[in-house]
Structure 1
Amino acid sequence: MKPNGGEDQTATMETKANECVEVSLDESQAVLRIVIPSHRPGEASFYENFALRGIRVDRVEPGLVVCTFKVPPRLTDRAGNFANGAIANLVDVVGSFVTYTGGLLRNVSADISISYMSTAKLDDEVEITSKRLGQKGGYTGISVLLRNKATGDIIAEGRHSMFRLHAAPKL
């Protein structure tokens, strides 16, 4: 046995982690009842309806996008907090907004890192600010800040790296 009960502590932490991600039978059944309709060009996909519905673009300038998002019930965890996965998704999506150029090749995420500072609750309004930090060749660095509009608290800060492959020359 390790000093300070290391093995027991590890087993307890593993048990607690497993309990946190354990899905109830009702939750499992709810997922099975989801019907995902076919996606046609020009229509919103299931993903867009689920993860992005309700986002409002407030300001757009070269290298800057500011959005507002009210935390919906579908994107909260069991404790009623804005789910970390939903926050990561917004860092990815809103971060990519500052690199979009209509009609050109889309960028792909090369790296995302997120620092979670506080949380937001159901129905809190979150301001999402995405800024292009710089660009060199096909690489773009982006900062994304999520802030609770009512309290001013920083919820999360993300760094997002994106890369655009240049089209190969036609022979």
Structure 2
Amino acid sequence: MEKAREFLEKGAAGDGAARVSRLTFPPHKPHRESSFYEYFILRGVRVDRVQPGSISLSFRVPPRLTDGEGNLARGAIASLIDEIGAAVINEGSQPMDVSVDMSISYISAAKMNDELEITSRCLGRVGRYFGTTVLIQNKTTGEVVAEGRHSLFRVPASKM
């Protein structure tokens, strides 16, 4: 991860594509450490409150997650909904949850450095199938930025 961070901070000079193709990342250990993707998306997220079936988080929109117009990118919103929707049902020692379906309503824009409040709730569970909802709001204005519904399936533990 340090190699990637160093590369991104220095910028791609001239032979950027060749430099990127030479980067190597050792596989991460699921449930023991964050992947590069998780680190990139979730860096800066602060946990405000955790209750059974619900979590509330704060997040200041960083430049790395904005589009060309300075708005929080829609892909970043989808990634936050994916990660935080899964976090609300995480049980630590349980096997990984796999996203089955997401439905996202993009309602308003969030600008770089806006403070956001993200609330995720578990809607229910049937066997190994879970439903969650994630609401992203501007903490200052209360305006809803996006709302997502996320369904996940808990992969059964390996018997190997």
Q: Confirm or deny a common fold (TM above 0.5).
A: yes
Change (3 A) 1:27 1:164: same
Q: CA deviation at 1:49?
A: 3.2
Change (3 A) 1:29 1:93: farther
Equivalent in the alignment of 1:159: 149
Equivalent in the alignment of 1:88: 78
Higher percent of residues as helix: 1
| Secondary structure in 1 matching 2:151 | strand
Larger radius of gyration: 1
Q: CA deviation at 1:169?
A: 6.9
- For residues 43 and 98 of structure 1, the distance between their equivalents in structure 2, rounded to whole angstroms, comes to 18
The share of aligned pairs that are identical, in percent, is 50
Equivalent in the alignment of 1:134: 124
Equivalent in the alignment of 2:25: 38
Deviations 1:61-80 (A, max 9, x none): 11101111110001100011
Equivalent in the alignment of 1:68: 58
RMSD: 2.7
- For residues 77 and 30 of structure 1, the distance between their equivalents in structure 2, rounded to whole angstroms, comes to 24
| Secondary structure in 1 matching 2:103 | strand
Equivalent in the alignment of 2:135: 145
Gaps of 5+ in 1: 1-25
| Secondary structure in 1 matching 2:90 | coil
**8 Å Cα contact 1:37/1:46 also seen in 2:** no
Question: TM-score, normalization: structure 2?
Answer: 0.79
Equivalent in the alignment of 1:22: none
